[in-house]
Every structure is written in C-alpha cells, then in structure tokens.
Structure 1
Amino acid sequence: MKRHRCRFFLFILLDGSTVEVTGSPTEKAILSWGLELHMKFAVERSKSAIIHVSPFNSEKKRGGVAVIGRDSDVHVHWKGAAEIVLALCTNWLDVDGSTHEMTPDKANHFRKYIEDMAEQSLRCVAFAYRNLDPKDIPSEEQRINWELPDNDLTLIGIVGMKDPCRPGVRDAVELCTNSGVKVRMVTGDNLQTARAIALECGILTDPQASAPVIIEGKVFRAYNDAEREAVADKISVMGRSSPNDKLLLVKALKKNGHVVAVTGDGTNDAPALHEADIGLSMGIQGTEVAKESSDIIILDDNFASVVKVVRWGRSVYANIQKFIQFQLTVNVAALIINVVAAISSGNVPLNAVQLLWVNLIMDTLGALALATEPPTDQLMKRTPVGRREPLVTNIMWRNLFIQAVYQVAVLLTLNFRGRDLLHLTQDTLEHSSKVKNSFIFNTFVLCQVFNEFNARKPEELNIFEGVSRNHLFLAVVSVTVVLQVIIIEFLGKFTSTVRLSWQLWLVSLAIAFISWPLALVGKFIPVPQTPLKNLILKCWPKKKKQGDEGAAPPV
C-alpha cells in the first residue's frame, strides 16, 4: 500500500473561484471533503504560522505539526492511523465545541466506529490536538531534533476513506495465483482494512482467515528467525507493518528457498527492494531512492504490469531453453556422427567448413529465431522455476535424445550403406563418396531446420501455433534454406560438395520431415519429475566410510 508522507499544499487559480488541491492521495481526499463543507483553509492558515513539522513516520503511523496563532496560543495537531491516535487521546471534542473526558466506554465506542469502517475496506484516519505552553517551545536552533508531544491529546474526529482497487488488479492477482505466484500484501493499514482490501483484490479467499494467514506486523517482528521462517510461507496479509517487517519477510522467504519479488514506492522500502531477488519500484509515486534500489521500474504504477513482468521473464527463460535444446541436438548429433565415422573408417562425412556453417551461421540464425518467440498464455500456466532447478529439464533431455538418436541412426546408416541405398554403385568410388557425403550434409542441415520448429514448443503438441505471427522466425528459416540450396548447388568448391539431383533433395526433405511426427509421438513419453542429475546421484553407489563394514547395504 502507499505510504503518505507529503504535506498538503493549496493553490488558488487566477480566477479566484476554484481551488486546486495537491499532495498525497490521503491529504487530497481529506482536503477535498473539507472544501465540500465550505471550509476556508486560506483564512485559517492566515491566522497561524507553522513553527515545526513532524513528518509522517511509518513506525509511529502518524505525523504532526505545531502552529502558533496570532494570540500566541500554540497547538500541536496530529494525524495518523485511527486506533493509534485514539489510544493517545484523553479527551474528545463534541460537535458543539465542548471537551469531554475519554472514558473507556467512549473509547470502545470510537473503536467500534473504526472497526465498522475498516470492515468496509475504508482507510481510517484520526485527528487530534493538544495545547502547548509557549514556554515549552525550544529555540529555533533546538527545534531540529524536537519531538512534538503526543500525550494528553483531544480527539477531533475520525474519517474513513475508500481506496478502491484499480481495474484489472483482481484479474492480475488471479492470474498470478494460477501461475504459481503467491501474492502477499504488506500494508500499514489495520488488520480489518487490510482483510477487506485483500478480499476485494482476491489475495484472500477466506473471510474468516486468521493468524498466521493474516498477521500484524508487531507480532511477526516479535518472532525469532526460526519462527519467522516457519510462518512466512503461510502469510498472505500483514497489517500495521513497518518497512522493516517487509524486509524481515523477504529474508524469511528467501531462506525458505523462494524467489521473492517486492513492489514498493517509498524510501523506507529500499532495503526490502534491494534484498529481494527482483525489486519493482513505482515510476510515478516512487521515490528516487526506491528506484535506485530496484531492478525494474513500473512506469504506470499498476499492479497488473507485474503480470507482464512475470510473463516476459518466463518468455526469456523459455526461449533460452529452446535454443539450448536446439543447439545441443545439433552438436550431439554432429559429434557422434563424425567420431563414429572417423573411428570406423578414418573418414568423416562432415568436414570442417560444413561444421563451421552449421555451428557459426545456422546456430546463430537459430538462436535469433528462437529468441524472438513472443510470450504466450501457456507460459502463465506453468509452475515457477526454483532457484536450484537445472536449466536443461528432463523434457528437454527427452526431446534431445529422440531427435539426436534418429539423426545419428539415419546418417550413420547413410555413411556406411549410402552407396547401396542411394543407388550410387554405378558411379566411381570417388564421385559416389562425394555425392553420399553431400547428401549426408544436406540431410543433416534440413533435419536441423525441421527440428527448429520442434524447439519452438518443447512441451506442446502443436508446434505450429503462432508461427505465422513470428515473421522473423519464418524469415530466418527461409534464409537458412535458401543459403543451403546455394551452398549445395553453387559453392561446391568451398564446401567440398557436389550438386544433388531433385530426387535426392526430395529424399533429404522426407528424412527431415520425419522429425515432426517423431517429436509428436515422443511428447507422449512421460518423464520423471526429479532432475536427471539427482536421479544419477541417487543411483550412484555411495562409498563406504571407515567403521561402516557392518552396516547394512543401501536399499
């Protein structure tokens, strides 16, 4: 929630008929209400002078000002959280201007008003004052560190203000929840107001939720480190909190292994923004200190923009995984083909220039194509990735294994039996070997072109969804195919290849095309949830330690 620190200012327009109110949203709301009651602020301000200001303090939840009137009377006025200011009052002001003692019954009466307004998600602010003896006012030099007295106050009134949720916030919270992102609200409002607002936003779903789901800041900060870590995961709403409570919550969640993002706009939010894995500050209401401490600045101050941050962050991560899967398939297949061929026959089907074309040009273009994949709705249906989870997932290993095994099996078969299978036995051995190797190179490149479509959707069945909207991807694939045709048909001396007949081109395309149905079938093969590295470590036999000779073998 917003922290309101600014003093209010009134500006009278040139026509003298309209008053413009500026300042924080809370103060603007109060002053606008005063204008509707025909209060004359300019007249009242002319009768007094401000001698000291105590800015709003997020710890004390109140701010005050000392003013001196023309008759030399000094008054200290306080404004802040209703129940906190009320607890400091020993008297209350009636509508007729008379002062009465604040009895326990009357205090409970006022608290009931506060609770009723808070349950309607109204932010309650109380006003109080006290008289001050002019002799107790320090000199101008000593006022710098002067703490305004806040005892024996007289309650003037309590107001309730509606701070409605912005359009789209509830939908954004629901989308975050469905995508595995838990939204927590840390606010300075009291628990009743915080509960009502959280229910309105969808952060809370149970109106009867109690601690530790909804907790007060002073209760949370009273816990030790172990207790805070134990309850941190359960907290959804924290009311009457201080900026340090937000920092403690961030630290507790990080110790529990969570990736934490924090939003904030005030200077006091800077430590939490800095401590979080991702700090998001507000571009409009945010202070410069908050912006400097954050990683991302939300220009429109809208929580719905946080969903865009999550969406694009997941898109970047997914695109990196797509390219890694694509490049690993290329490199694993090329390495196995050349190593096996070199060991068995002493000749390699893919020479240095051809490998340079595949790794430098084709992989670079492939990375460019896959990196430009826009975010999709499917990304928001995934669960978040933990900080310790591997970049190469079991699904990626499955897809890589299927495609690499297929390519290696086909191309090694062509390498050893290609002359017979391609009906090249009538040609000379030298020419038939060149045709065979050119065909292997061409088929290998086309397999990667077709596999590039598979890499777009590692988990989804429909690999062509949205491909028509990604013009850069289609352009890269087209350029790759055109360059491959030019290399085979016109740059034979440079790449040590020969021209291929149209029949061999069709066979290459047919072999490459099989990678599509093969990938489709492969996606029905289940994979374990445990990362591959953990599975290997689990199966790896542990070394016996000294003194363990009599121990039972591991199960």
Structure 2
Amino acid sequence: MFGQKEDPGQAQQPFLGPSMTPTRGPVRRTVVTRVYEAVRAIALCHNVTPVFEDDEDVNFDDTEADRQSRQTVVYQAASPDEVALVKWTESVDLTLVKRDLNSMQLRTPSGSIVKFQILQVFPFTSETKRMGIIVKEEDTGEITFLMKGADVVMTTIVQYNDWLEEECGNLAREGLRTLVVAKKVLTEEQYQEFEIRYHQAKMSTQDRNAKVQAVIESLERDMELLCLTGVEDKLQEGVRPTLELLRNAGIKVWMLTGDKLETAICIAKSSKLVSRLQDIHTFGTVIGRTDAHLELNALRRKQDAALVITGNSLQVCLKYYEHEFVELACQCPSVVVCRCSPTQKADIVKLLRNHTGKRTCAIGDGGNDVSMIQAANAGIGIVGKEGKQASLAADFSITQFSYIGRLLLVHGRNSYKRSAALSQFVIHRGLIISTMQAVFCAVFYFASVALFPGFLMVGFSTVYTMYPVFSLVLDKDVKAEIAMTYPELYKELTKGRSLSFKTFFMWVLISVYQGK
C-alpha cells in the first residue's frame, strides 16, 4: 500500500466492493477480508481531522443537501504522512467523514456510515516511534487496538512473519518512508482491566511516565500484522542544483534524517547529495569499543567516499572515539546520518561546533528539526507540508529549498563584505580624529585644548562622513548573477580575508598616517 504527500493518486479498487462490509457473525479469513482490515486500520489509526469548507459561491436559496454537495474536505494532521494515507483510503472509497475527541465515522463503499467510539489514544513520540488507538465499533461492539510505527520497534511487537523485513527493505530502496500497521482484538474484560491499570498509572505520583509506558507495553504483545505502508517524500524543485551549488561553494553538507538506512541512501542519491559514481561507505552496526575501532579503521582507508551511519552507531562512536570520528567524518565529502532522533540531531550540530570551530547552519521543515535549528549558529526554516514549527523557531524563513543558494551566496556574501568594510571604516573614521588630537596636544605641551569645536566633531562623525557609510552599505563587488554562476567566490569568505588582523592593522596604519 502506497501513499504520497503531494498526490495520493488513484489506486485500483476492485477489492473494495459492498461485500466487504463487516458482518456480525464469524467471517472466514480470506484475502478480501484481510485487505479490508488493513485498509480500515489505516483509516482509523491516525490523528487526522477532516474539515469541510464551503465554496466561495454561496447561494442562500440552496438547500442543505446542495450546500453539502459543494463542500470540499481538507484533512488536518500533525504529519503529512498521515494525511497521505487517509487520502489513499478515500481514493479506495473508505472515507473519513467525521472526527472528534470521542468518536470517528467512516463511509464505506456502499455509502453506509460506520461509527466508532475512541476509547484511548497513544500519540507518537520520538522515543516510542509508534502510535496507537483503541476504538470500539458501535454496531458490533468490537474493541480493537490498532497500532502503527517504525519497523524497528514493530518487529518485536507483531507476531512471527517471514516477509516484513524483506518488504521494508524493498520499499526503502525505492525511497519510501515505511510504517508497519498491526491490530489486536480485545474483549470487554481485557479492556476494562487495562483501563483500570492505565488510570492507576496516570494517577501515580512517582515515576508516572515509566509506569504509564509499562502498562501500554503490556498491551503491545503478540499483535497481528496487517500491512506495510510506504509514503513518498517528494523533493521540491531545484534541490539538486542547490546542493551542487553549495558543494562548489566549499560548504560541507550533512543530512540528518529519521528514515531507514536504505531510504536515506536513496534520498541522498536522488537529491544528488551523493553522486551516482561516488563511493558510499556504510558504517556497520557497532555495539562496543572494539567494533567502533574496527569500523573507524575501515573508514580511514576509504578515500573520497560518502559516509552513511545510523544514529545508534554514531552514539557508540562518540562515546569511545569522539575526536577521531569527527576528524574522519569532516574529511568525507558528505555525511548521511539515518535513524536519527531530534535530540541526536541537535547533539550532532553542537558536536560540530565545538570540535571544528566552524559556523554551522541547520535547515529543516518539520517540528522534529526545531532543536537542531536552535542549536546551530544560523537556523533556516522551510515552510511546507510539515507545518510552520521550523520556520517560527529559525532565524530565517523561506518557502523553497532552492532559495538557500541565493540566501547564502548572494545575500550572505554581500552582508559579510559590507559588515567587514563598514566596521573597519568606522574605526578608521574615529582614529583619524584621535590621532590629530593627540598630535595637537603633544605639540602644545599636552595642554587639554580641543583641536576642533564640538559641532565640527559631531558633524564629522555624523553628517560629513555619512556618504561613505551609505556607499559601503549598498556596495556590491559582483552582481548577483555572477555570484550564483561562480559559487567558488564564496570560498573567499571562509578564509576570512575581508576582516582579519592584517586588514585591521592596515586600516589602523592608514588612519595614523592620515591623522598626522
């Protein structure tokens, strides 16, 4: 089952006929019923809320039925992946029509409305990497615990199977973000027992979070595997040339993602962060000092190879060989860190700042990138389908990833050169007057006599030298088109030639000479 953020597409629907509506009696488990259970689980296990919007043309003479027929539905959720999956279930005629805090309604292919009561919701967190919901169908009274999450955690929760790991790898190699969906049918007695223990855990005054999680995990056992979903994370326009532009400008690019290893490699290749002909060194799974030492030696023998490493292996390497790993990783043309939690993203940014002393810029478009953006020297938030959390927490907010090239190579370069020239000119302007006053006092036996009247001193600092200040603020050494065509010009900024001890003392000598 596949979804897509931009367009869920029109999936084939021969298997969703009216005969697939659930019956009250026992049903023989066939392929049709299994598919229906999987699709229904996708349509129920989420935090999506449908919002109906009226069209602009409003006629007050229309009936209520006419107004409802003109309404368009908009799905709202914290993650665009969930919206993509719900849109896919709509394309196969299982539509979410209503959602509130306590209930949910689905419209089946036959047009009937199936009502569900929401008993419990366990939201997704970066620690658990899964979400769950307990619903009760009002017609049959059946209580079902539905769960979806990353394959890493769901593999140990679902029943034994021989296809989950293989299919996850196949979808990941195609660049899709995978989620495993499972279910568990509960009796009324089982749910009442769970609710009592869950309520007691929430009322606990000590170790409340641990006790609540333990109660939930007692329910997450021996679940029935329903399906595996894959959502395509489409790249925006201009991502590939922008990354190539940044590499030519001498900027090292690291990709920090929470996706699987195969998905991260596929996205790195599709975005041209790693070229097709470039070698990729996949850092092996390490669990101790010896493994980390062997893998670091293998990485040291690689020449001009992109590094791909998981978050857990990175954490082990930083524990034992922090300095050596950072030194080797910075020599790689590009680095991809997959299975990375939001906290690990921020830690990696802080690590690069402390060890290299370089300026770091974090770019993100989702709420899980906020901590990374705030940890960097400069944060850039992209407003997109992930929401506005990243853009609100960032120093700069843009709507397209391709704008980063112009932001850095044109505006960033001009800002640096103008600030360097302006700061040194202000020193030059003040030092001239100070030198003249010092020489005048020395000639007249250090008498405390002003060389110029007060209004001339104030005028020199403001009005008389105002035009050079404005010329420096608006100065451009090259046009924007040239700066974008030749990104190598940006490399000059990394050498610090515009503002250094050498240029500072040159301005001081010029000021002293002109003052005399």
* 1:393 pairs with 2:500: yes
Q: Which residue pairs with 1:9 in the alignment?
A: 49
Query: Is the contact between residue 147 and residue 183 of structure 2 (CA under 8 Å) also seen in structure 1?
Result: yes
- Runs (5+) with no aligned partner, structure 1: 92-101, 413-555
Partner-residue secondary structure (3-state), 1:7:
coil
> How much does 1:115 deviate?
1.8
Which SS does the other structure have where 1:72 is aligned? coil
The aligned counterpart of 1:472 is: none
Cα-to-partner distance string for 1:306-333 (whole Å, 9 max, x where unaligned): 4454343443332121123434445556
- Partner Cα distance (2:498, 2:234) in 1: 41
What's 1:26 paired with?
81
Q: Which of 347, 350, 356 is the matching residue for 1:251?
A: 350
Change in Cα spacing, 1:29 to 1:406, as seen in structure 2 (3 Å) is: same
For residues 59-74 of structure 1, the aligned pairs below 5 Å read: 59-69=127-137, 70-74=139-143
Pair 1:231 & 2:301 matched: no
Measure, in 2, the Cα distance between the counterparts of 1:181 and 1:252: 17
Q: Unaligned 5+ residue runs, structure 2? A: 6-44, 54-67, 97-105, 203-211, 284-298, 300-306
> In structure 1, what residue type is equivalent to 2:171?
M
Give 1:204 deviation, angstroms: 2.4
Secondary structure at the aligned position of 1:392 is classed as coil
Partner secondary structure for residue 262 of structure 1: strand
Equivalence for 2:167? 113
Change (3 A) 1:385 1:249: farther
Q: Distance in 2 between matches of 1:32 and 1:285?
A: 15
Report 1:155-304 matches (<5 A). Answer: 155-205=225-275, 206=278, 208-211=280-283, 213-225=307-319, 227-232=321-326, 234=329, 236-256=335-355, 257-264=357-364, 269-283=369-383, 294-300=393-399, 302-304=400-402
- For residues 72 and 236 of structure 2, what CA distance do their matches in structure 1 show? 28
Report the secondary structure of 1:175's partner residue: helix
TM superposition shift of 1:53: 1.0
Opposite residue 340 of structure 2, the aligned amino acid is S
Aligned residues: 388
C-alpha change, 1:231 and 1:304, in structure 2 (3 Å) is farther
Q: Give the whole-Å Cα distance in 1 for the aligned partners of 2:90 and 2:383.
A: 30
Evaluate the alpha carbon distance shift between residue 128 and residue 169 of structure 1 in structure 2; reply closer, same or farther with a 3 A threshold: same
Q: Percent identity?
A: 21
Q: Could you list the per-position Cα deviations for residues 8-66 of structure 1 after superposition, in whole angstroms to 9, with x for gaps in the alignment?
A: 12346711896544433212221222222222541367343221111112223221111
2:415 pairs with 297, 309, 316, which one?
316
The answer to whether the 8 A contact 2:383-2:390 is kept is: no
State the secondary structure of the residue aligned to 2:195.
coil
Inter-partner Cα distance in structure 2 for 1:305 and 1:262: 14
Q: Distance in 1 between matches of 2:492 and 2:149?
A: 39
1:342-357 maps to which residues of 2 (within 5 A)? 357=459
Label 1:189 to 1:268 Cα distance change in 2 as closer, same or farther (>3 A): closer
- Cα deviation for residue 187 of structure 1 reads 1.1
CA deviations on 1:269-290 (whole Å, 9 max, x unpaired) are 4443333222334456677876
Q: Secondary structure at the match of 1:382?
A: helix
Structure label with greater radius of gyration = 1
Match of 1:363 among 444, 459, 465: 465
Q: Does the C-alpha gap of structure 1 residues 384 and 82 become closer, same or farther in structure 2, counting only changes over 3 Å?
A: farther
- Structure with the bigger RCO (C-alpha within 8 Å, sep 6+) is 2
Note the C-alpha offset of 1:385.
Answer: 5.8
State the TM-score, normalized to the length of structure 1.
Answer: 0.59
1:81 matched to 2:150? The reply is yes
Which one-letter code corresponds to 1:10 in the other structure?
P
Residue type of the partner of 1:35? E
Give the one of 463, 475, 479 matched to 1:373: 475
Change beyond 3 A, Cα 1:160–1:76: same
For 2:270 and 2:509, locate their aligned partners in 1 and report how far apart those are by CA, in whole Å.
49
Match of 1:492 in 2: none
The 5 A counterparts of 1:511-526 are none
Q: In structure 1, how many angstroms separate the alpha carbons of the residues matched to 2:394 and 2:75?
A: 33
Q: Distance in 1 between matches of 2:71 and 2:428?
A: 75
Whole-angstrom CA distance in 2 between matches of 1:392 and 1:239: 38
Counterparts in 2 of 1:202 and 1:362: CA distance versus 1, 3 Å? farther
Superposition deviation, residue 83 in structure 1: 4.8
Q: CA deviation at 1:405?
A: 8.9
2:118 aligns with 50
| Structure 2 counterpart of 1:139 | 195
One-letter amino acid matched to 1:217: G
Letter in 2 for 1:317: Y
Partner of 1:215: helix, strand, or coil? strand
- State the one-letter code of the partner of 1:111: E
Q: Distance in 2 between matches of 1:6 and 1:40?
A: 13
Tell me what 1:382 maps to. 490
Deviates more, 1:188-197 or 1:319-328: 319-328
Kept after mapping to 2: 8 A contact 1:64/1:77: yes
Listed one character per residue, the Cα deviations across residues 396-423 of structure 1 (whole Å, up to 9, x for unaligned) are 3586489669868xxx7xxxxxxxxxxx
Shift of 1:186: 1.2
Cα gap change, 1:284 to 1:116, in 2 (>3 Å): closer
Alignment pair present for 1:127 and 2:226: no
1:356 to 1:36, Cα distance in 2 relative to 1, 3 A? closer
Work out the CA distance in 2 between the residues paired with 1:79 and 1:243: 20
Give the letter for the 1:49 counterpart: Q
Q: Partner residue of 1:438?
A: none
Question: TM-score with structure 2 length normalisation?
Answer: 0.63
Measured at CA, do residues 391 and 19 of structure 1 come closer, stay the same or move farther in structure 2, by a change above 3 Å? closer
The structure richer in helix per residue is: 1
| Partner Cα separation in structure 1 for residue 424 and residue 69 of structure 2 | 69
- Offset, 1:166: 0.3
Query: Which residue identity lines up with residue 210 of structure 1 in the other structure?
Result: T
- Whichever residue aligns with residue 321 of structure 1, its letter is A
